[in-house]
Amino acid sequence: MKKNHILNKLFTFLFIFLIITSCSENVSYNEDAIKLTVKEITSTQLNKWFENEMNDYNPDTNVVNEIKNNFDTNRHKIYLYANFACGCTDQQTDIAHLCKVFSKCNIPESSFEIYSMSNKNSKHPYKNKFTINYMPECIVMKDTTAVYFVIDTMRYLYSIGSSETIEKLLLNGLKK
């Protein structure tokens, strides 16, 4: 009887230990960014929120028309970074809203790339061109230079009590 009691305590301890370590920030994840398409994101059951956010978002038509006039497929490229494994946050919905804007503006998928990363320090193919300070993030490139950090700018505006639509911020980046 005492042996069973000790085994039960040992299994309970191991179970609790595994739960605690699996929820810890120190868990080792694959540090490489995973390139995804919008279709790949929306086809994952855990990311159904992404498709819902895209469908529910209605970008400003006037700004959409300005983006169409300012987006140059030969000069502009947009990179989106988020942790799609951690669930939906307010700012991750901005990534879904941006994808809706891209769709409305007829921006081809060859002109933007989406990466899922476990954190801002994960390796990604453009690490030598720019640094990601917070996630999620959207970087507007002109030629080979990062000219605008859309969601970082949104964070700054919120911090000073201001705001701007995601499509207007994208347009600002395209005008740089």
The mean per-residue pLDDT over the stretch 38-44 comes to 91
Q: Determine contact, residues 68/104, Cβ cutoff 8 Å.
A: no
Identify the band that residue 118 occupies on the pLDDT scale cut at 50, 70 and 90: confident
What is the pLDDT, as a whole number, of residue 100? 97
First to last CA, the chain: 75
Q: Per residue in 141-176, pLDDT tens? A: 999 999 999 999 999 999 999 999 999 999 999 999
Structural domains in the chain, sorted by start: 32-174 (3.40.30.10)
Q: What is the pLDDT of residues 119-128, one digit of tens each?
A: 899 999 999 9
Phi, psi of 108 (to 5 degrees): -70, 150
